Structure 1
Amino acid sequence: MNKTKNTAEAILDTAQSIVQDVGFNGFSYAHIAEKVGIRTASIHYHFPNKEDLGEALISRYYRHFISAIAQIDTETHNNLEKLRKFTLLYGGPVQDYCTCLGVMFSTDLATLSGMTREGLAQLFTTNLEWLERVLDQGRSEGHLNFEGSAVVQALQFLASLQGAQLLARTFRDISRFDMIAEGLVSALT
């Protein structure tokens, strides 16, 4: 990997970490430059403005999410287990008392560029479509049991995980996320 690629990735890694902690409007390029150990001009070289950085962040996050759910689909055939693994995706940021990038971007929605908002909508749509498919298949195969439509169940599942992240962060108590995530999965058996 070349130095330019390494620098761009380091910038994105650092920016993502900061956004997941303080939100998109809670930092400047100077904060990233200090953490990465570069000048702000180097950040502007890769991401001319903050909107470009936001678009790159959500695009990369989306690609990683697609890869993660593809891995779940490949490794796991039981839909209940797929949902358990999905909750682990949302549990990752909680370990550092942060939330996922999507949740934090949502709090700054009004100030995001149109492309970043579209990327965020695409991320949530993909989450919901995957959840709906897994829920439908799980009910058809007898692994899952719930009333109503899979669409509504998917919305409730995703909203609950996102809320669980916020509660765990607010109370600085990872067990709150774990209790909610396990309750969501258990309620489907």
Structure 2
Amino acid sequence: METTTRTKILSLAERLLRTRGYADFSYADLVDEVGVRKASIHHHFPTKEQLGVEVVEDYLARFREELEAILGNDQSAPRRLSAYAELFSASLFDGTFPLCTALAAELAALPERMQDQTRAFFQIHLDWLERVVQQGKKARELDGAPAARKAANILLNAIEGGAVVAWALGKPESVTIGFDELVRLWSSKSR
């Protein structure tokens, strides 16, 4: 029971972070849906900050596994980048904002530990993208890309901006347009 309740709380808190934001939800929002009293939520997570930190830690563990799976499953850099971009569209099609985007949007309202986690989250994105671009340049699959670190920043800006625009317009299918175009242009110069 303890693990199930804790898991339910974490799952719902993640959904609330991704749909309403950290500042706009409280333990009262969790009570009805989880089916426990507020005291039970405080038993598992004494503070909202602790809950937020654990939601992000849990998500980051899953996110790292997804990135490693992409590296293992998709052999070309353009395919790896496409699979990465799909992580963003999948969340928008599920009716949630990508967690990294949601956290960054209200960075100033987050507790310091969550601000640090958010910065680390973006560093994970940049490091992974840089690695894939470096491999793609070495394999001559992304000859048109700029230096790997710069390309990683450009790609992250494109997908994060795409997520914000897609969310605002309610058009999840548009999230990867800019990102996909960059990858297409950079790989077309390799042919």
TM-score between the two structures when normalised by the length of structure 1: 0.93
Q: Tell me if the contact between 1:135 and 1:154 (Cα under 8 Å) persists in the aligned partners.
A: yes
The aligned residue for residue 135 of structure 2 is 137
Alignment root-mean-square deviation, CA: 1.4
Compare 55-64 and 31-40 and name the one that shifted more. Answer: 31-40
Q: Tell me if the contact between 2:18 and 2:99 (Cα under 8 Å) persists in the aligned partners.
A: yes
Matching of residue 106 in structure 1 with residue 111 in structure 2: no
C-alpha distance in 1, partners of 2:76/2:176? 21
C-alpha distance in 2, partners of 1:32/1:91? 26
Q: Tell me if the contact between 1:20 and 1:101 (Cα under 8 Å) persists in the aligned partners.
A: yes
The aligned residue for residue 148 of structure 2 is 150
Q: Tell me if the contact between 1:97 and 1:168 (Cα under 8 Å) persists in the aligned partners.
A: no
Count of aligned positions: 187
Post-superposition offset of 1:147: 4.2
Aligned to 2:175, what secondary structure does the other structure show?
helix
TM-score between the two structures when normalised by the length of structure 2: 0.92
C-alpha distance in 1, partners of 2:148/2:118? 22
Whichever residue aligns with residue 79 of structure 1, its letter is A
Map 1:113-128 → 2, pairs under 5 A? 113-128=111-126
Post-superposition offset of 1:97: 3.9
Point out where structure 1 has 5 or more consecutive residues left out of the alignment.
none
Q: Tell me if the contact between 1:132 and 1:151 (Cα under 8 Å) persists in the aligned partners.
A: yes
Whichever residue aligns with residue 44 of structure 1, its letter is H
C-alpha distance in 2, partners of 1:187/1:158? 16
Whichever residue aligns with residue 24 of structure 1, its letter is Y
Matching of residue 174 in structure 1 with residue 181 in structure 2: no
Q: Tell me if the contact between 1:97 and 1:172 (Cα under 8 Å) persists in the aligned partners.
A: no
Match of 1:25 among 6, 10, 23: 23
Q: Tell me if the contact between 2:130 and 2:152 (Cα under 8 Å) persists in the aligned partners.
A: yes
Q: Tell me if the contact between 1:20 and 1:99 (Cα under 8 Å) persists in the aligned partners.
A: yes
The aligned residue for residue 66 of structure 1 is 64
Compare 76-85 and 92-101 and name the one that shifted more. Answer: 92-101
Post-superposition offset of 1:111: 2.4
Whichever residue aligns with residue 128 of structure 2, its letter is W
Post-superposition offset of 1:155: 0.7
